[in-house]
Structure 1
């Protein structure tokens, strides 16, 4: 659950920065959010979750 919450916060910050500095319009961000909700209810959602968890595990295993 911690990865999910931190991932959501990270994506929210990225969207906020893109809206302010990158020229992303609010409607584009809303459309992306709606697409995310629709994808969460499809059969591809477990694959997306697994891929995200794999990337998070990969990032956390990198030692500096």
Structure 2
């Protein structure tokens, strides 16, 4: 769990700086995918899934 949280923090930080510098390419896609996979294995996965479901339901009802 400690390694996973560390990788989530690392990928999140790298993704933040890549997005901020507007660097888009294969590297940014890899970092974003890695961030998502590591984030999915933390305790934050359930609230993120619930938020995504709520947003999808709200948009479909518009």
TM bracket (short chain):
0.5 to 0.7
Q: CA RMSD in A?
A: 1.4
Q: d(CA) in 2 for partners of 1:23 and 1:36?
A: 18
Runs ≥4 in structure 1, deviation > 3 angstroms?
A: none
Q: How many correspondences in the alignment?
A: 41
**Corresponding residue of 2:35:** 35
Any stretches of 5+ residues in structure 1 without a counterpart?
1-21
**Corresponding residue of 1:57:** 57
Greater RCO, CA 8 A, separation 6+:
2
Any stretches of 5+ residues in structure 2 without a counterpart?
1-21
